[in-house]
A and B are shown apart, each in its own frame.
Chain A
Amino acid sequence: MKITEKDVRYVAALAHLDLTEKETAQYVAELDSILTYVEKLNQIDTSTVEPMAQVLHKAAETDALREDRDRQGFRQEQSLGNAPESGAGHFKVAKVIAR
């Protein structure tokens, strides 16, 4: 086995994903077969290959940063408009620090 139930639970916790028992068992089996499949990459010697993080085309580089000028942003009510819970101009969540 490439991946165990403990691994799936650990990774799900890192990703803040609540999984049921059934889901956990299913993902263990499915990820095991996917991870076994992707092992085939080890057939290739990549010791002299640079990793490619972005598409490499010959276009001139564009400025990644815009000119630092103020521009119209969202109004507060727009930003809060989709919040499940808001009040007094804030996003509201459950208590973070327990007494």
Chain B
Amino acid sequence: MSLDISNWKIEDVLRSLRSRETTATEICQASLARIAAENPKNNSLITVTQERALARAAAIDRMAASGERLPPLAGVPVAVKDVIVTEGTRTTCGSRILENYVPPYTATAVERMEAAGAIVVGKANCDEFAMGSSNENSAFGPVRNPYDLERVSGGSSGGSAAAVASGMAVAALGSDTGGSVRQPASFCGVVGLMPTYGRVSRYGLVAYASSLDHIGPVGRSVKDVAVLLSAIAGHDPLDSTSAAVPVPNYVSELDGNLKGFKIGVPREYFAEGLSSGVRTQVEAGLQALGKLGCEMVEITLPHTEYATACYYIIATAEASANLARYDGVRYGYRAPGAASLSEMYQKTRGQGFGAEVKRRIILGTYVLSAGYYDAYYLKAQKVRHLIAADFSNAFEKVDAIAAPTAPTPAFRIGEKTANPLEMYLSDVYTLPGSLAGIPGISVPCGWSSAEGDGGSSSEIKKLPVGIQLLGKHFDEARLLRLAHQFEMAGGVA
């Protein structure tokens, strides 16, 4: 029987390579076989990097044969969200405008992951330029949820989450601007981390909203996410927003003590709009955290209800500036048949961008335009300060915050596409942490019945639910410890 790695974690790869049970080449082939079987169903990957992956696997095997010490990610098949550039491998951003773009350089996070031995097996599908909450905004088609192919994977890092959930890759990199790692992790039943703003270099992450963009790891366990974060975190001279804060060994910190740990439960996250299925699971999750010896404290984050409005002003304003570079001159699609330069810009962008990207560019340009700047953009920046202050006030009393990741489990494909505002409101629990720049992790917290499926005679499907844990700036070590021990204690059935 051929090797099946669809449930493997990073330590399984390392153990089997160190004991010479198998080779990196066999593991890579198993990953590629799984991709061939699953990708046609869930559409997680836009590009499969078979040749390059096999060549790198062979190099790992030569290392192992010569008795060299294997690095922490040796031979681990990973998927990389297609907004993160990879030299020589096309990087589309899920957009028609970059359909044939082959970057001349590699992102720092990918370079560091590869230096640690990881093998990129494919570029993961995503909402166009990471703008979306369901992966339905990709020019390459939606990613389908591995647990119910009629439902969304979440977004915008839906391909990264679904590739890990369906066993194509052991781990993945995504990006999180307003919840884009945490929400799909929750929908697909995997672990996803948004690190502190500045913790991981964004050199080579195609910019969407620069004051909010983060690269974050996705894995099948908290430990795998910790291994990946240890590999990619740290200052990078090529990203002036990356912080020169020392990187602890996140893996060895996982087993520390949680006695006396205080967890805040923000009442605003359990108010109207939270589905009963998610509420039941997350409340059970809070009890499980209590059993670990944590003290649960009710807190208030009073400006939570303003986060969605605040985010969609700031993010679209930044996007309108960042996406000005797609002009059909230096790279990407160029519309044919334009008589003037200005007509070429307009047609290129009109034809090259999808509906959501155009919507956000127009909204962002509007809120920055003369006469509206103060009323919208400046106002939102002030409210952002209040939202960030809510968290710093809370962290004077508690060590971490626990809440749902998303208000519902995965919704149906097409369910929210007719109403952009309704789609935006599905990010309500991830946006505040993004605006504050604090780290947040989504960890599986059991299963819920699919909303709206009740009463049908067919078998009611169970869908994954995630619990979100938020921590102080650069406190990933303790956040991961909390998440790891929650997971080790069995989480929630």
Residues of A within 8 A of B (CB): 3, 7-8, 11-20, 23, 27, 30-31, 33-35, 37-38, 40-44, 46, 49-60, 62-66, 74, 78-79, 81-85, 91, 93-96, 98
Contact = CB atoms under 8 A, between A and B. Distances in A.
Given A27-B359, A57-B197, A17 B350 contact: yes
Contact of B303 (A3, A44, A62): A44
Nearest to A38: B309
B381 A53 contact: yes
A38 B388 CA distance: 18
B183 interface: no
Contacts of B378: 51
Nearest to A96: B341
Given A46-B379, A96-B341, 19 more contacts: A16-B324, A16-B342, A17-B350, A17-B353, A18-B350, A18-B351, A31-B359, A38-B376, A41-B383, A50-B382, A51-B378, A52-B382, A57-B196, A60-B244, A62-B244, A82-B100, A84-B331, A84-B332, A91-B330
Given A38-B312, A94-B339, A82 B331 contact: yes
A41 B380 contact: yes
Given A31-B363, A59-B474, A51 B381 contact: yes
A11 B317 CA distance: 12
B345 interface: yes
Interface string B91-110: 00000000011101100000
29 contacts: A11-B369, A18-B350, A18-B351, A23-B358, A34-B363, A34-B424, A38-B376, A41-B306, A41-B309, A41-B379, A42-B379, A46-B383, A50-B382, A51-B382, A55-B197, A55-B473, A56-B388, A56-B437, A60-B244, A65-B240, A74-B105, A83-B331, A85-B334, A91-B330, A93-B341, A93-B344, A94-B338, A94-B341, A94-B344
A-B pairs with the 7 shortest C-beta distances? A55-B437, A18-B350, A51-B381, A82-B331, A84-B334, A46-B382, A57-B473
| Size class of the contact patch on chain B | 35 or more
B437 A53 contact: no
Contact of B243 (A40, A49, A59, A84): A59
B361 interface: yes
Contacts of B359: 27, 30-31
A34 B198 contact: no
Contacts of B331: 82-84
B235 A62 contact: yes
Looking at chain A's contact residues, the main secondary structure is loop
A66 B474 CA distance: 23
Contact of A59 (B245, B351, B366, B376): B245
A83 B329 contact: yes
Nearest to A14: B365
Contacts of A63: 240
A93 B345 CA distance: 10
A39 B382 CA distance: 14
A12 B360 CA distance: 11
B320 interface: yes
Contacts of B350: 17-20
B490 interface: no
B381 A52 contact: yes
B482 interface: no
Interface string B320-332: 1000100111111
Contacts of A58: 473
